[in-house]
Structures are given as structure tokens and as C-alpha cells.
Amino acid sequence: MQPAAAEVVVVVTSPRAAITQRSMSIGRGSGRLAVLAGLWLVSLVSIAAVLPEDRADGLYHYYNGGGIQIDGPSLLVRKKVANNVSVSANYYVDNISSASIDVVTTASKYEEKRTQMSLGIDYLHDDTIMSASFTTSDENDYAADTMNFSISQEVFSGLTTITMGYGRGSDVVTRRGDNVFSEDVDRRAYRLGLSQVITRNLLVGFFYETITDEGFLNNPYRTVRYIDSNPGNLLGYAYEPEVYPGTRTSNAGSVRARYHLPYRAAVYGSYRYYTDTWDISAHTAEVGYTHTLGDPWVFDFSLRYYTQTKAEFYSDLFPFQQAQNFLARDKEMSTFSNNAVRLGVSYDLIRDGWSFIDRGSINLIYERIMFNYDDFRDLRGTAPVGEEPLYGFDADVIQLFFSIWF
């Protein structure tokens, strides 16, 4: 299900999101947008009056951490069909094997496959680009369709770009082994961005997004635990299903900057603040450095820190059954933080053209993410109820992708 404070592009908030949010397609439900796998090499400020280049990207992604392994391929192709029109298509696969702490303490290991397909079109008119995309995603217990629209306008001789966007998502939640259970989710997203050229070397962007969700917003398999003093219960606690509110509104604002150094290098940074009606607030900060070595090599290094507060209806252990109207024990709804270190390298395989290919590159990204939970406990050992050790784990993310321009 959707992570607690779903981040887009620059942030990994949860294990499930870690592999997808820096890949060609990201997120589940709201915020499921198509992006280039090599976004970390690209300027943070979009150029409204230029269509995307003709290119194809083939990606293999891999995630391993917290008992979850995710891998699969993705292919993204962009092509101009006229001087003012560009179309794109993306195919993305997640092969998921999960023996996470939630699974091993309340259920059994499972495997599933998620496939996602996207189509997009960009139309250029003078200093304006209008974009539309459609994404459909399917797995054995979740289906989602999302439409996104945006318009970008250059003003002040191209030094400023204003972008407005709207997204609408329609999801269907089912449950394995239950042919009757079926619930709907409606998602809407409103986005506003301002990109500004400050100097010839400094680019700054400001972005704001509001997302509204309505429908079945929790995981149909997940449970919460409560104290059970029944003498026949040796654990000292029992489980009951999670219950979430039927609506949620979130707001997020961010600022990003990139400064190009005189020796073919750049430093960049970003800050994002998130808040929602479930009383979750989150802060994300990232700094990075990009360096070229000769003509063919580009190296990238970044550090990121993320922290969030828990939802108002979250608890690791409730005092009794049905202790309140809404109940959650999803660790991504708890108070937690993560630190990430990312290393990337890109090498131009083809620089002078070959056949129909103008240029080609191979790219490798490795990311190490350290998760620490402040009020979610590890139930796999033996300890007094409510005094179990706090949970934490490390995850590895690898992305290998090839890009060609034609």
C-alpha cells in the first residue's frame, strides 16, 4: 500500500518505494509519474521551450533490505513525431519477494509481480509545453490507472519557468484468496512549480503539491496488536485488523538548487517539507556533488536525510481491543528516519555516433539506505510485552541502465 509520506523523485521513505523512486517509474497511486532513470545527471530546472530529446533507456533495478527483495527491468522510449510533438512509452516490472518483519510475525513469505505501462505526449507551442500521460499498473491484488496533465510556460526571456499540473488516479484494492473483497480509491494531485535562472551558474526551483485521497487507504492484510491478558495467550498480546480514515490530504513544498562550478562539476541540494491530515510531518534534506572526468566519465555522490513523525492513530501496542476508532501499526506510519548514501557513475560508450545512434552511455547507481524506527518494535525475539527491541535495517539499491540518443 501507499507509504506514509510518499516522496517523489528525490526521496526514499520506505523499503517498497526505495527501488522505484529513482527509476523510470515511481510510486503507487498518487504521484505515479514517469521520469528518466538518469535524473541525477540532469539539471533540476526544466526548459519549457525545448522538447525532450529522442532517446531510449533500458534499466535493471534491484532492492534488498528488511527481508524484501525487488528487481526487474524497465524500458523508456521518447521520440519526436513532428517539430512540436514528442511521445513517450514506458514499461516497468517489479518482481517482489517479501519476508519482511510484518510478514514473518503475522503471515508467511509471499511473491508477486507488478507490471506498469505508461504513455505520454508533449506538445510545444512557442514558449509553452503542454503534457499529458496515462499510466496503468497491475498486480494480483492492486490495480491503478492514473492520468497526469501539466503546462509549462517560459517568461522573462526564458529565465523563469512556471509549471502547473493536475493528476487523477483511480485504484482498485482486492485481497488474495478473497473473491468478494474489492474497494476503490480516488486520488487527485495538484502541482505548482517555479524554476528560476539566478545567474549563469545557479539554478533554483520551488515546488508545491497537494494530494487528496479518498476510499480504502489501508492494507487489507495488515493488523495491529493489543494487550491481551487472557491466561491462555502466552504472547501477552493479540491482533486485529487495521482501520484507517477514508480520506487523507497531504501538502508538500520543496526547494532545489544546483550550482555549476567552473571546472565541469556541480553541487546541488534540496529540502522538502511534508504534512498531512493524519498528523504526519516529514523533513527531507539532500546534498550532492557531480564531477566529470575527461569526456566520457561522470561521477555523482550524494547524502540524504529523512525523518517523519507518526500518524495520530498509530501505535506499536494498543492497550486493549478496539481501543480507538482508527488503528494502525504499519511501520511506515510510525516515527522513523533514514539516511542514504548514493554513488553513481556514467560512461559514454558512443560519443561520435554509430549508425542511427547519436550517442550512448552506460550508467550505474548504488545506494545504501539505513532505516531506524523510533516506536516500532521487533517481535521476532523474546522480551516482555512492549519492551521488545526497536526495529531497524539497512537496504541496498542498485540500478544499471543503458541510454541511447538517436
Question: How many CA atoms lie less than 13 Å away from 108 in the CB half-sphere?
Answer: 0
The pLDDT of residue 31 is above 50: no
Helices (H), 107-229: none
List the CATH code of the domain at 15-405.
2.40.160
- C-alpha–C-alpha distance, residues 19 and 61, integer Å: 7
- C-alpha–C-alpha distance, residues 119 and 131, integer Å: 11
SS3 225: strand
Phi, psi of 245 (to 5 degrees): -60, 160
Residues 27, 149, 59, 173: is their CA dihedral positive or negative?
positive
The pLDDT of residue 23 is above 70: no
- C-alpha–C-alpha distance, residues 93 and 71, integer Å: 8
Predicted local confidence at residue 21, as pLDDT: 34
Predicted local confidence at residue 107, as pLDDT: 77
Predicted local confidence at residue 317, as pLDDT: 98
Could you state, in order of their start, the residue ranges of all structural domains in the chain? Answer: 15-405
Q: CB neighbours (10 Å) of residue 318? A: 20
The pLDDT of residue 28 is above 70: no
Predicted local confidence at residue 101, as pLDDT: 92
pLDDT tens track for 250-297 = 999 999 999 999 989 999 999 999 999 999 999 999 999 999 998 899
Between the CA atoms of 237, 240, 246 and 251, what dihedral angle is there, to the nearest 10 degrees?
30
The pLDDT of residue 187 is above 90: yes
Question: Where are the extended beta strands (E) located within 31-159?
Answer: 55-65, 68-82, 85-98, 110-125, 128-139, 142-155
- What is the chain's percent helix, strand, coil content, to nearest 5? 5, 60, 35
DSSP result, 348-400: EEESS-BTTBSEEEEEEEEEEEEEEEEEEE--SS---TT-SPEEEEEEEEEEE
Mean pLDDT of the region 133-147? 97
The pLDDT of residue 46 is above 70: no
